Structure 1
Amino acid sequence: MESDELRIGTAEREEAARLLADHFGMGRITPDEYEARVTDAYSAVTLGALRPLFRDLPQPHPGFLAPPQLPMYAQPTMQLPMYGPLPASAPMPLPVPYAPMPVPTSYRSKTVAGVLQIVLPFGVGRFYTGQTGLGLLQLLVVLLTGIGVLWPIIDGVMLLANGGLDAEGRPLRP
């Protein structure tokens, strides 16, 4: 059976319409073309009816319009390297340098968080950083015990000195 004669389902029609909307959003097709192509996509019954809708458009195209893959047994195989002791004359392989991924910083400030913790010692600085659980705990400790007011103040000094993390685990900006 030829691939253009294969029947398609609702999922294929919706994927084609979604990708046509992307092309429309990028300005590649006019509103009239978009409307006509989406109408044709939803009325398509076979792959052959969807193929012309993307013929003059660049990628992305629906994945089901791609040519079929070779079966696993027909794909070329890769020769695995032989492992064993290196000859004495062989140069030692160089280690691959490790480049750590940069950690994005929060848009919240450690200075603002620390000052809020000291000036309003009810966990307000922790609410500011997005750590509402810790803020609520500090609020309850301060309300239930008068001496508990020291915890948010010490926490504020620690935020000013060392910084901290926001609710998503990003370091607070200076």
Structure 2
Amino acid sequence: MSSQPDPEALRIGTAEREEAGRALGEHLAEGRLTPTEYEERVATAFAAQTRADLRPLFEDLPAPHPAFLAPPPSARAYPYAPPPPDASPPSSPPSAYHQPGPPAGVSDRSRIVAGVLQIVLPFGIGRFYTGHTGMAVAQLLVTLFTLGVGALWPLIDGILLLVNGGRDRYGRPLRD
């Protein structure tokens, strides 16, 4: 049993009625309908409530028909067989636009290197190394514009990196 409603019983709206009226107008212009037949069919189209009410208006006419009255695509037109249950998804080569993310787990960056760089070169160099460029630029600017007093921030940051470790730009913990 299908839980889908019958498409012919679906109610139509003003847009569908107007589309049917336009299609009937084209048939009038081509001489397929007399003005009296056209008026009767348009009146019926604007009084229609379902697709089933509109379909008889076009049974004796060639195309054009309203698009929503077109039959659904045949199963033969688009053959599809679902993959077997044991089939794995197809693999595709990596695209130039989609680069795979970093592997999960521990970072390839060292907390010791990051900490030493922060202490020895207190301009945010250790943060550039870990990939935190925003913080690195901030530390660089603070150090430069405070005439060296701002170097305390990268110095303390370097000690914290050595003691507690840190994370790289992907959020992975730095390796020892």
Give the alignment's TM-score, normalised by structure 2.
Answer: 0.44
Larger Rg: 2
